[in-house]
């Protein structure tokens, strides 16, 4: 059974990663005309407002306890009303991209925190920062996949003619099952992890940590 410190090393980065991801969607939507998330109190970094029992708690816990090579999860999606956006089809792509981009930015912030950890000689913070980098890179890359309901599918949908976009979006009803199937079949280990490792190595090499 993992101790409290080990759990915190994982829990804190996971909560930050998925919370900021959802807030980013809502914030960009608000800037583009849709204030749904703001009106429902979802533009907050309070993780309690974003917790999804399955995606935030159960899924990461199962992956951790089963020795999965990477962790991921999701928060309760922020409400988005495409019709309230100034240019619904075009703007939805920016709303969708905001989530993964926020994860890549957070990976950079966790990278910066490693230097602070070295200065104060905190192995706890070093370990947490390394997990934070990994989790955010996984979420960023994973969400760019063109599989509904992942963010990458919103970008693809915005580029398709309306009729094709409608048919493509029908996959969303089965997206979670497809996603879980790919996960447990080990497909992501062959697709997502190599990309994540390349990005992680590049980041650490750039700042001289490798």
Nearest to 132 by CA among 150, 157, 105: 105
* Residue 169: DSSP 8-state: H
**What is residue 106's three-state secondary structure?**
helix
The answer to whether 71 touches 56, Cβ cutoff 8 Å, is no
Rg from Cα positions in the chain: 18
Task: Report the distance separating Cα 183 and Cα 64, nearest Å.
Answer: 14
Q: Could you tell me the end-to-end alpha-carbon distance of the chain, in angstroms, rounded to an integer? A: 32
Which phi-psi region, left, alpha or beta, contains residue 208 (left: φ > 0; alpha: ψ -120 to 50)?
left
Whether 172 is a known active-site residue: answer no
The answer to whether 131 touches 49, Cβ cutoff 8 Å, is no
Task: Report the distance separating Cα 133 and Cα 111, nearest Å.
Answer: 7
Task: Report the distance separating Cα 174 and Cα 147, nearest Å.
Answer: 10
Catalytic amino acids?
Answer: 22
């Amino acid at each position: 059974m993992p101790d409290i410190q080990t759990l915190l090393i994982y829990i804190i980065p996971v909560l930050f990663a998925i919370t900021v991801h959802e807030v980013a969607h809502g914030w960009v939507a608000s800037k583009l005309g849709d204030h749904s998330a703001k009106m429902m109190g979802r533009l907050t970094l309070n993780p309690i407002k974003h917790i999804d029992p399955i995606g935030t708690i159960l899924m990461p816990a199962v992956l951790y306890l089963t020795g999965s090579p990477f962790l991921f999860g999701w928060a309760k999606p922020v409400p988005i009303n495409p019709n309230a956006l100034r240019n619904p089809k075009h703007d939805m792509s920016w709303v969708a991209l905001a989530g993964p981009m926020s994860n890549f930015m957070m990976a950079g912030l966790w990278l910066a925190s490693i230097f602070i950890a070295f200065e104060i000689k905190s192995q706890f913070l070093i370990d947490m920062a390394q997990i934070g980098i990994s989790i955010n890179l996984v979420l960023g890359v994973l969400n760019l996949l063109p599989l509904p309901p992942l963010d990458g599918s919103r970008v693809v949908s915005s580029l398709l003619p309306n009729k094709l976009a409608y048919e493509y979006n029908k996959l969303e009803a089965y997206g979670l099952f497809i996603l879980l199937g790919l996960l447990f079949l080990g497909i992501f280990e062959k697709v997502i992890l190599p990309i994540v490792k390349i990005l992680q190595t590049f980041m650490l090499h750039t700042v001289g940590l490798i």
